[in-house]
Amino acid sequence: MSQYSVQFFIKRDGGSALARSPVVVLGFVVSQFQLFNLLVTLFPIMVVAGL
């Protein structure tokens, strides 16, 4: 899956995205992880507030 996406980036941007891809992927994963932690933290609070 990741190999296919890397090949797609190379074909689309001529390899320019390949240099940025580790940073972009890392930033995306970190932002998703922080968002997930925020949801996990807020969900019980919302449930308790709703009840």
pLDDT at 30: 82
* Average pLDDT of the residues in 41-50: 87
Contacts of 46 by beta carbon, 8 Å cutoff, 6+ apart:
none
Region 25-51: what's the mean pLDDT?
A: 84
Residues above pLDDT 90, as percent of the chain: 0
pTM for the predicted model, two decimal places = 0.40
Asked if residue 20 lies in contact with residue 27, where contact means CB atoms within 8 angstroms, the answer is no
Check residue 1 and give its pLDDT.
Answer: 47
Q: In the prediction, which pLDDT does 50 show?
A: 83
**Sequence-ordered list of residues with C-beta below 8 angstroms from that of 30, at least 6 positions apart, any chain:** none
Termini Cα distance of the chain: 42
